[in-house]
Structure 1
Amino acid sequence: MNGLLRRPWVIAAALCVLATAAIAITAPDVLRAWRHSSPAAPGSLAPKLASLSDQQLAELLPKPGDFPVTWTVSDIKELSDTFGYFRYHVSDEGLGFSPVECFGVVGVASTGAFDAAEVFGHDPADPPEVADRRDIRLMVGREFDPTGFDAFTGLVSRCLRFSSAAVGSYEVRILEDSHSADGRRRFRYSVITTIGGEPDATRTDYYSYARTSGLILSGTASTGHQQPFDALFDSTLSRISNR
């Protein structure tokens, strides 16, 4: 009985660790950046759709009405109009990942893009211990490193099974790795997390990435939200492709 009573707290603690990992992996150490001119200005530093302003890129993301009607939806517009280079910290922040490089697989790791805008939604049906969870999250960023996407997919392919001393074990399943004739790249995978000490306490998170038109579209979804996530991601990618 005590084990059953403790289980929600164990899972909640593990989810907090995962959230910390996701935040840590997305905190860039900026090395160089430039403000680029408007899309119509000559000599823009950013190519293709990366020359759009943050506000214009934010318009490509889903609107609150695109999410399920009962959800709480928020957005973040950086409004920095930044295009440049930065690097990510490799440390797993003491979470005990093995191999340590696989830390990036459970966050939103570097794909060679600088995020410009973000939208995320929360499902009110979530249990209280994850009341602040971002159940679906989409981001659009300007690609600055053309090798970054391949490096990221290579990382995921090397990390199909790994573990964390703070959480438990992880199993990665690659759902899609496709290339289109117009140069667009899609990459999707899921991560099944088994909470340490709780054999039946598992969750599945979903990750989706697309590289097109000088942009990287990325997103995540929590357990039970794959279908609306895929629909939102696909419609956003279609908007970008038709821009």
Structure 2
Amino acid sequence: MKISEISRMLPRLGSQDRDIESWTEEFKRVMELSDISEEKKIFAWAKECVQGRLKGVIDDLKEEEDGIIKYPSVDEIKESIEKYLNITPQEKCFNLKALRIRRGESIKDFNWRYNNYYKNLKQDFKQFITINDYADSIASRPFIRTHVITAKPEDIEKALEIAELAETAIETPNRNNNIVMFIVKNRSPTIIILNKLKNTSILENKQELLDTNKQQAFLCIEPRNTEQSSRA
């Protein structure tokens, strides 16, 4: 990849920016896409992302011993920038609470970002991140959000799993007018496909929540292809 192309892809980081987690994630992604793994080159590209004093902050991490130069890892660069900007554990916790899924971003990709934020929180602050916080972060996907809330997962890890399964249920190919049923029973999510349901007239919407004694089932019915039906 050409230098100019890599430069255009680089995530920029100013002295007023506070979301270092997102910058780190995007920078690593660009380095991977550009097939850059040499520490010296990664170090040089990291400095290209920043301006002013932040360049010096990164430069100060370079060490020389017995004529051998040692370059910092991306995570060491991240930690040094956070320290310089005085980003506290409280602020990191707030940033995670404010994190939202992007338009067009899959739940799986978002969960990867969310989990990176979460695992980098200090243990004492993880207790302040609730299932409702995660549900709010995917509020733009109301069907999946409903799954997470009604399933009442016991922890964040289980909530991420439920959301990904719900997304899978939505995306499951359904060419035979089957029903894709997402069931949470005893807090264990499962996907079931029911073939050739004859009477679907009672389901007026694509999504319907069925409540039974100790389980919730979500039905996703793909409408018939009207064009094909008219030809038949």
TM-score, reference length from structure 1? 0.21
More strand by share: 1
Asked which structure has the greater RCO (Cα within 8 Å, sep 6+), the reply is 1
- Larger Rg computed on CA atoms: 2
